[in-house]
Amino acid sequence: MNEIILIKNGELALKGLNRRSFEEALSRNIQKAAAPCGPVKVFCSQSTMYVTPLEYADIDEVTERVSRVFGIAALSRAAEVEKNMDQILPAVCEYLRDELESADTFKVNAKRADKKFPLKSPEICVAAGEYILNKFPHLSVDVHEPDLTVTIEIRDAAAYIHKQPIRGAGGLPVGTGGRACVMISGGIDSPVASWMMAKRGLELSAVNFASPPYTSRRAEDKVRSLLEKVARWSGDIRLHIVPFTEIQEAIRDYCPEDMLTVIMRRYMIKIAEIIARKDGALALVSGESVGQVASQTLRALQCTDAAADMPVLRPVIGMDKEEIVSIARKIDTFDISILPYEDCCTVFTPKHPKTKPILEKVIQAEKALECAEVNVNAMIERAVNGTVAEVVKPR
């Protein structure tokens, strides 16, 4: 019996004239996600996508991988059989044996897209119901709240017997919304923010600011491991590691202590934006949430935003830590995030950071760098030129 995966698209259905390009993107993403298990054919017909392994493939693993592809509302595995009742009925009992054995009640749901099929849907239901009751006499029919719904679909190419549907990842196919560049730290929030924006159809690049020797190689590896997890949903992520030590030291040496964090964050934004633009990204993404720490008050966010010329997307802005953690657990980044390696943001933290910095005063304070004859632009250029890029793959 040939086993395939049937896919119900999510929000895709709402996309009118763009629908075709959304379906093409989804189809490409499914093929990429399944590729490590072997090649699959994806085709779309009558608002369902069919994923057929072309060679032997572990269908459990293909299903698991496809369940992480954004743009899918629900998926179910299905047996593909010839379109005649002599084939369909025994196949139902064989394919759904475990489910039929463990249920007490069932109903049959038949869909007949091929109107030339000799039996109408209610007739298919009756025939299948009788056949099943005969083979599994412990069962009874319950059309309102059955333990098991046996779905039989008659389509143009074949008949399909469905396993129970599972929930898809939702969202929109990655790549349909353009590219954004995530500011990724080793913390809990920014991997979650990355995942949330990939879910809205964005392809991801990432920048991480590293300040060796204050931050270690292990902190960089941690960021890589986090992105490997996110990439299981988003696909490959281009990671840029920016050498930030010189800038941080200059800020520490010349700027007022209580503004170190906000000034540093403004430089992070400026540099991230240059890299993002080179990488074809139209927005930055950060894991900030209002009120979480001193640099995430509205005043502080106003100061960082003012350093940016592109939108800064903050998908976790209104979420509690608990809500963020529950997503981090779901996407399997939490255990990595809580490893105790330092981040450049925690290197020169002031004892009493300003929680309500005033933009004009921050800009004024930044002038201290120029007064000290630090060539700020040359410093930014060195950071950008010293950035090392790599591609992080799902793992």
The verdict on 27 binding Mg ion (CB under 5 A) reads no
* Nearest approach, Cβ of residue 193 and ligand ATP (Å): 6
Q: What distance in Å separates the CA atoms of residue 266 and residue 307, rounded to the nearest whole number?
A: 5
Q: Which of 187, 235, 315, 357 binds Mg ion (CB under 5 A)?
A: 187
- Whole-Å CA distances, 315 to 171, 174, 183, 197, 312: 14, 16, 12, 7, 10
Which residue lies nearest ligand ATP, judged by its C-beta?
Answer: 187
Chain residues 315-374 in contact with ligand ATP, contact rule CB under 6 A: 343-345
Neighbouring residues of 236: CB distance < 8 A, sequence distance ≥ 6: 391, 392, 393, 394
The 258-297 site mask, x for binding ligand ATP (CB under 6 A), equals ----------------------------xxx---xx-x--
One-letter amino acid at 344 equals C
One-letter amino acid at 155 equals R
Token pair recorded at residue 317: 């802005």
Q: Which of 9, 151, 208, 297 binds ligand ATP (CB under 6 A)?
A: 208
* Count of residues interacting with Mg ion (CB under 5 A): 2
* Nearest approach, Cβ of residue 316 and ligand ATP (Å): 8
Chain residues 172-201 in contact with ligand ATP, contact rule CB under 6 A: 183-185, 187-190
The span from the first CA to the last CA of the chain, in angstroms, equals 31
Nearer to ligand ATP among residue 187 and residue 201 (C-beta): 187
Rounded to the nearest 5°, which phi and psi values hold at 349?
Answer: -75, 130
Report what 183 binds from Mg ion, ligand ATP, none; CB cut-off 5-8 Å by kind.
ligand ATP
Nearer to Mg ion among residue 174 and residue 210 (C-beta): 210
- Give yes or no for a cis peptide into 39 (omega within 30° of 0): no
Name 170's bridge partners. 72
Which residue lies nearest Mg ion, judged by its C-beta?
Answer: 187
Contact 7, 75 (CB under 8 A): yes
Q: What distance in Å separates the CA atoms of residue 96 and residue 90, rounded to the nearest whole number?
A: 10
* Nearest approach, Cβ of residue 269 and ligand ATP (Å): 9
The verdict on 387 binding ligand ATP (CB under 6 A) reads no
Give the binding range for Mg ion (CB under 5 A) out of 15-23, 185-193, 324-332, 373-381. Answer: 185-193
Q: What distance in Å separates the CA atoms of residue 392 and residue 153, rounded to the nearest whole number?
A: 40
Element (H, E) at 112: strand 105-112
Binding residues vs Mg ion (CB under 5 A) = 185, 187
Binding residues vs ligand ATP (CB under 6 A) = 183-185, 187-190, 207-209, 286-288, 292-293, 295, 343-345
